[in-house]
Amino acid sequence: MKDVAVIGVGMTQFGELWGKSIKDIFVEAALKAIENANVDHIDSMYVGSMSSGLFVGQEHLGAVMADYLGVSPIPATRVESACASGGIAFRQAYLEVASGASEIVLAGGVEKMTDGADVTEALATAADQEYEVYQGVTFPGLYAMIANAHMYQYKTTREQIAAVAVKNHKNGVNNPNAQFRGEISIDKVLNSTLVADPLRLLDCSPVSDGGAAVILCSMDIAKKFTKNPVRIKASAQASDTIALHSRKSFTTLNSVTAAAQKAYKIAGISPKDVNFAEVHDCFTIAEIVVSEDLGFFEKGCGGSAAEEGLTSLESGKIPINTSGGLKSKGHPVGATGVAQVIECYEQLTGQAGKRQVKNAKIGLTQNMGGSGASCVINILEAL
């Protein structure tokens, strides 16, 4: 396999983008990435989107976006893996460049969630339609079961879970593209509206519009475009049962542990070599479980780690979600995995401003779909 680099990135503001269509959003992000990467063409492109059919009545998104971006007749492929669609678009672009089939490939993700669809119903199509959704459970409900199990098994407290939201909002203040740029307190989380016991409104990532794109190329030509290419050290993907009830444990996500083991092996590193990570905090409890399953903390210690600030930017043993995470930055589901790579790229090239992790050499992104039925992990390295 050929060595592959990220050489440029671009994203839109995340939030309620009433004045922009799904096409406007994707094209804005893609043009920014193309300009940022200094490339004069792309050979191929991928579009990650979870459910443009249900959200805005438009499938065939690869061709649609290639057309509106003005790059036809290049190959343009949409990939979908629920909320991991963006991370998997990135991985497919990586595989295409690594195979030698293409030299310069765009990986983008987009979602337009605020245009009138029943968002909860559309998102629920990421769960098992027959055995979960028809019984009335939604994603807040599924993650609430995970939270309850974690609190029972490991004595994780409500305050510890809330600490994740507080930290991510603090980080998001310094991210100009974040949807919510205001700090919140533990009390504010604990007193926000109950959504699915024990999860409250401020434990949940928001409904968002947004797009993100990155440009990948083979490492042997990367220096033609930028002084600071970022190397893709590993990209690994795994799956798990679609339904939560089919799993032996609610407190560990097998797709995360499987993808992590593979990614660490390919990269030849261990969790302690990772300087920072962007993880999939669709709900606060998810960040806690994932920070354990990635090997950053012992199983059951993710809650206390968050509370003690071990994942904060300042004191951080391992800063997590310096971008603000899904919680504060926003979660346009198809774009999220690509936006994680963008934060990684900005950190590794020293462009993260007030969010900058000191001496950042190796970053990890973890993006998952549903209640963890799919997961993709990328490890990136500064050269």
**237 residue type, one letter:** Q
Write a three-state SS string for 174-210.
CCCCCCCCCCCCHHHHHCCCEEECCEEHHHECCCCEE
Closer residue to a copy of itself (CB): 77 or 157: 77
In the complex, the smallest distance separating the C-beta of residue 323 from a copy of itself, rounded to whole angstroms, is 24
Is 301 annotated as catalytic? no
- Could you list the residues that contact a copy of itself (CB under 8 A)? 1, 21, 44, 50-51, 53-54, 56-64, 66-67, 71-82, 88, 92, 95-96, 98-101, 122, 125-130, 133, 236-243, 246, 254-255, 258-259, 369-370, 373-374
In the complex, the smallest distance separating the C-beta of residue 357 from a copy of itself, rounded to whole angstroms, is 29
Cis peptide before 176 (omega within 30 of 0): no
Distance of CA 155 to the CA centre of its chain: 28
Closer residue to a copy of itself (CB): 23 or 329: 23
Beta carbons within 10 angstroms of residue 368's beta carbon: 29
Closer residue to a copy of itself (CB): 61 or 222: 61
In the complex, the smallest distance separating the C-beta of residue 191 from a copy of itself, rounded to whole angstroms, is 34
Non-local (6+) Cβ contacts of 357 within 8 A are 275, 276, 313, 316, 319, 322, 347
Closer residue to a copy of itself (CB): 47 or 305: 47
Closer residue to a copy of itself (CB): 175 or 237: 237
Nearest by Cα to 358 from 315, 325, 300, 294: 315
Closer residue to a copy of itself (CB): 140 or 324: 140
Contact 364, 267 (CB under 8 A): no
In the complex, the smallest distance separating the C-beta of residue 56 from a copy of itself, rounded to whole angstroms, is 7
In the complex, the smallest distance separating the C-beta of residue 311 from a copy of itself, rounded to whole angstroms, is 26
Q: How far, in Å, CA of 94 to CA of 4, rounded?
A: 7
**29 residue type, one letter:** A
Residue from 169, 282, 331, 375 carrying the catalytic annotation? 331
Cis peptide before 73 (omega within 30 of 0): yes
Give the SS3 label for residue 236. strand
Closer residue to a copy of itself (CB): 302 or 369: 369
In the complex, the smallest distance separating the C-beta of residue 114 from a copy of itself, rounded to whole angstroms, is 16
Contact 282, 330 (CB under 8 A): no
Non-local (6+) Cβ contacts of 283 within 8 A are 139, 140, 143, 147, 199, 203, 204, 205
Non-local (6+) Cβ contacts of 287 within 8 A are 164, 168, 279, 280, 281, 302, 306, 311, 320, 321, 325
Is 282 annotated as catalytic? no
Contact 300, 253 (CB under 8 A): no
In the complex, the smallest distance separating the C-beta of residue 376 from a copy of itself, rounded to whole angstroms, is 8
Catalytic residue IDs: 83, 331
